[in-house]
Chain A
Amino acid sequence: MKRLSLFTICLIILVGSWVFLRFVVGGVISVPIPSSVIGMYMGLIIIAILVHISVEDSRFREFLRPVHETLIDDKRRIRRRVIAVLIPIFLLGYTYSIIAQRANPPGSPRDAHPSPPLELTYKDAVIGTMQDVVNPFRHYEKDDPEAFKAHVENGRRVYHQNCFPCHGDHLDGQGHFAPYLQPLPANFQDPGIIPNFQESFFFWRIAKGGPGLPAAGTPWDSAMPIWEDYLTKDEIWDVILFLSDYTGYQPRTFGEAH
Chain B
Amino acid sequence: MSKKRLYLILGFVLVAYVVLAVAPAFAQDTTEAEYRLFPKIGSRNAAWIAAQLHLLFGSFILGVPMFAVIIEFIGWKTKDMRYDRMAQEFIKLCMGAFSTTALLGGVLVFILIWCYPKVMTKLSGIFGPTMIFYVFLFFGETFTLYLYSYGWDKMQGRHKGWHLFLGVLLNVFGTAIMFVSNAWLSYQTSPATQYGVLSEGRRKSWIEEKLAADPALTPETAMEGVTSHTMVPLHNETTGEFMGTVWDAVNNFTWMPVNIHRLVGNIAFGGSIVAAYAAFRFLVAKTKEDKAHYDWMGYTGNFIALCGLIPLPFLGYWLGREIYMFNNTMGINMMGSLFSWLFIIQAVMIGVLFIGANYYLWSGMGRIEGAEVYARYRPYMITVIVICVAIWMTPRTLSKISSASELSAMGGANHPHLGLFGLMTAKNTAVNIVILTTFLSFLFYRRSGKTPTASWKKVGNVAISSIFFLATVSIVVIGIVGFTVPTDLRVNILTPYQVLVALAVMAIVTVVDIFMYRKATTSGTIKWGEMTDRSQYVLILVAITFTSLMGLMGYARSGLREAWHIFGVMQDTSADAFTPLLSEAVNMVAIIMVVFFALVGFIFWLGLWGEKKKQAAAAPMEGEVAVESDD
A111 touches B487 (CB 8 A): no
Q: Is A11 an interface residue (CB 8 A)?
A: no
- List B344-396 residues whose CB lies under 8 Å from chain A: 351, 355, 358-359, 362-363, 366, 375, 378-379, 382-383, 385-386, 389-390, 393-396
Interface positions of A from 130 to 158, Cβ below 8 Å from B: 130-131
**Which residues of chain A have C-beta atoms less than 8 A from B322's C-beta?**
257-258
A116 at interface (Cβ–Cβ under 8 A)? Answer: yes
Q: Which residue of A55, A108, A116, A196 contacts B413 across the interface (Cβ within 8 Å)?
A: A108
B405 sits at the interface (CB 8 A): yes
Contact B394 A37 (CB under 8 A): yes
**Is A55 within 8 A of B363, CB to CB?**
yes
Decide: B404 and A130 in contact? CB cutoff 8 A: no
Q: How far is it, in angstroms, between the C-alpha of A9 and the C-alpha of B413 when the chains are bound?
A: 36
User: Which B residues, 447 to 497, have Cβ-Cβ distances below 8 Å to chain A?
Assistant: 483-484, 486-488, 490-492
Q: Are A34 and B398 in contact (CB under 8 A)?
A: yes
B403 & A107 in contact (Cβ 8 Å cutoff) = yes
Contact of A107 among B401, B420, B488, B492 (CB under 8 A): B401
A104 and B403 contact, Cβ closer than 8 Å, known pairs A37-B418, A57-B532, A192-B422: yes
With A30-B417, A108-B413, A115-B337 known to touch, is A41 a contact of B390 (CB < 8 Å)? Answer: yes
Interface of chain A residues 109 through 137 with chain B (CB within 8 A): 109-118, 130-131
Asked whether any CB of chain B lies closer than 8 Å to the CB of A45, the reply is yes
Of B382, B415, B422, B568, the residue contacting A52 (CB under 8 A) is B382
B401 touches A36 (CB 8 A): yes
**A197 contacts B399, CB within 8 Å?**
no
Q: Which residues of B have CB within 8 Å of A57?
A: 366, 532
B407 at the interface (CB under 8 A from A): yes
Among B80-88, B110-118, B325-333, the stretch in contact with A: B325-333
Distance (whole angstroms) from the CB of B376 to the closest CB of chain A: 12
Give the contacting residue for A106; candidates B358, B404, B420; CB below 8 A.
Answer: B404
A44 and B419 within 8 A (CB): no
Interface hub of B394, B402, B409 (most chain A Cβ within 10 A): B402
**Residue B534 is within 8 A (CB to CB) of chain A in the complex:** yes
Are A33's CB and B340's CB within 8 A? no
Q: Per DSSP, are chain B's interface residues mostly helix, strand or loop, or mixed?
A: helix
Q: Would A54 and B534 be within 8 Å (CB), given that A112-B337, A173-B412 are in contact?
A: yes
Which of B338, B396, B402, B408 contacts A36, CB < 8 Å?
A: B402
Bound: A45/B386 CA distance, A:
7
**Residues on B with beta carbons closer than 8 Å to the beta carbon of A201:** 328, 332
Establish whether residues A112 and B487, one from each chain, have CB atoms under 8 Å apart when the complex forms: no
Q: In the complex, are the beta carbons of A115 and B413 less than 8 A apart? A: no
Chain B residues with CB under 8 A of A47: 355, 386
Give Cα A110–Cα B579 distance, bound, in whole angstroms. 16
A190 touches B419 (CB 8 A): yes
Kindly list chain A residues whose C-beta atoms are within 8 Å of the C-beta of B181.
Answer: none
Q: Which residues of B contact A223 (CB under 8 A)?
A: none
Judge whether A8 is part of the interface by a CB distance below 8 angstroms: no
Q: Which chain B residue shows the least CB distance to A41?
A: B390
A residues in contact with B157, CB < 8 Å = none
Q: Check A184 against B402 for contact (C-beta < 8 Å).
A: no
Q: Tell me how far the C-beta of A65 lies from the nearest C-beta in chain B, rounded to whole angstroms.
A: 18
> In the complex, what residues of B have CB within 8 A of residue A112's CB?
336-337, 340, 396-397, 399, 413
A-B contacts, 12 listed (Cβ < 8 Å): A30-B418, A32-B410, A34-B401, A36-B398, A48-B382, A56-B375, A108-B404, A131-B231, A173-B411, A192-B423, A217-B337, A253-B486
Contacts A31-B417, A256-B229, A257-B194 supplied; 16 other A-B pairs, CB < 8 Å: A36-B401, A51-B362, A52-B378, A55-B359, A55-B362, A55-B363, A57-B366, A106-B404, A108-B404, A111-B337, A113-B332, A131-B328, A173-B411, A182-B407, A192-B420, A196-B487
Cβ-closest 3 pairs across A and B: A112-B397, A250-B486, A113-B336
